[in-house]
């Protein structure tokens, strides 16, 4: 494949991915019956604690 063909394929894959994610987002019953790894994409990210962002316990750095 040429570089142009690869880029076209990647763009087509991204468009299809976006379509599927939008479909799942709009249809909770469809999302409920999908694979766990797909459902994970719709779960909120856990809140990061300030000490986790610093790489350890803030109190131990004082």
CB 9 within 8 A of CB 2: no
pTM: 0.57
User: For 11-61, how does the pLDDT look when each residue is reduced to its tens digit (9 = 90+)?
Assistant: 999 999 999 989 988 998 998 888 998 888 888 878 767 665 566 555 555
Confidence of residue 7 (pLDDT cuts 50, 70, 90): very high
Q: What is the DSSP string of the chain?
A: --HHHHHHHHHHHHHHHHHHHHHHHH-HHHHHTS-HHHHGGGSPPPPPPHHHHHTS-SGGG-
- The terminus-to-terminus CA distance of the chain in angstroms comes to 57
Listed by start position, the domains of the chain span 3-61
Q: What is the torsional sign of CA 14, 16, 20, 25?
A: positive
At 39 the pLDDT is 86
């Amino acid at each position: 494949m040429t570089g142009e063909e690869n880029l076209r394929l990647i763009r087509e894959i991204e468009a299809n991915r976006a379509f599927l994610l939008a479909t799942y987002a709009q249809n909770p019953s469809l999302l409920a019956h999908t694979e766990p790894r797909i459902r994970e994409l719709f779960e909120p990210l856990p809140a990061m604690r300030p000490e986790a962002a610093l790489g350890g316990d803030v109190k131990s750095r004082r």
